[in-house]
Structure 1
Amino acid sequence: MSYVGIVLISHSAKIAEGTKELIRQVMKDIPLETAGGTDENEIGTSIEKISAAIDQANQGMGVLLFYDLGSAKMNAEMAIELAERDDVKLVEAPIVEGSYVAAVESGMGKQLADVYDAVIRSFPEKK
């Protein structure tokens, strides 16, 4: 079975990996990738890491991107443009809580739009 993929984008590789570890405690089968830190493993983000994570997470059901800070959002938006796909969406929700909700919804076999909507409904203050 294919699932909606999730990419965790953080300025810190440790934050991205820690969030992935938390999600993996309950959702083992969904495609879940991290893009934490720069290419030099410093604090920051990398369009190349984000693009690679999108490719790895996409099983044909689309991918949701979660980010921590403003420049991560900018790099995520650029990676989406470079991907030239219409099945990659940036989500305005807290990275830990939002990606957790998305993982549970994805694990139920829901479509991209339904997973996205479930996350947005869970965090209406982020709209």
Structure 2
Amino acid sequence: MADGARVGIVLVSHSAEVAASVAVLAGGLAGGGDLAPVEPAGGTPDGGLGTSAELIAEAARRVDGGAGVAVLADLGSAVLTVQAMLAEGDELPAGTRLVDAPFVEGAVAALVTASAGGDLNAVADAAAEAYDFRKL
């Protein structure tokens, strides 16, 4: 890991607007200040609904500082796209991990933990723990 590098976060959604909004929400709820890098990767390059390996790879490269990249995805085919990219092994930066977590709550937990200097395991664990936060 590069000195001072923090885990980067990529938010993959079928919608560019949803991915961007969750990134803004996570940043606002994480308390502002010096946050870990987070990038949305939503929709298709032409602005439609869907997922794009190209947009995901570009976002992952932008947030990669050498400490790893946590990827959170919203729905089934977004997950499948990221899994296929990880299986290929050359599209995403080394140390990229798909995190099994709820999209919104997981994004907030991941960003808070990454911003505090948590490593990739801590970021993934924090995001996954968001499944345990019950609303009733």
TM-score, shorter chain, exceeding 0.5:
yes
Equivalent residues of 1:11, 1:68 under 8 A apart:
yes
Distance 1:47 1:98 in 2: 21
* Runs of 4+ in structure 1 over 4 Å off: none
Q: Aligned residue for 2:77? A: 71
Unaligned runs of 5+ in 1: none
Is 2:41 the counterpart of 1:35?
yes
Distance 2:15 2:129 in 1: 27
Distance 1:85 1:95 in 2: 21
Query: Once the two structures are superposed, what CA deviation does each residue of 1:38-94 show, in whole Å capped at 9, x if it has no partner?
Result: 111100010010111111111100011011111101111122233365511111111
Decide which moves more: 78-87 or 92-101.
78-87
Distance 2:92 2:10 in 1: 17
Distance 2:94 2:57 in 1: 14
Higher Rg of the two aligned structures: 2
Which structure 2 residues correspond to residues 1-127 of structure 1 after superposition, within 5 A? 1-25=4-28, 26-27=31-32, 28-80=34-86, 81=88, 82-83=90-91, 85-123=93-131
Equivalenced residues, count: 125
Distance 1:105 1:33 in 2: 16
Cα pair distance change 1:104/1:63, threshold 3 Å: same
- Structure 1 length as normaliser, TM-score? 0.89
Unaligned runs of 5+ in 2: none
User: Alpha carbon RMSD of aligned pairs, Å?
Assistant: 1.8
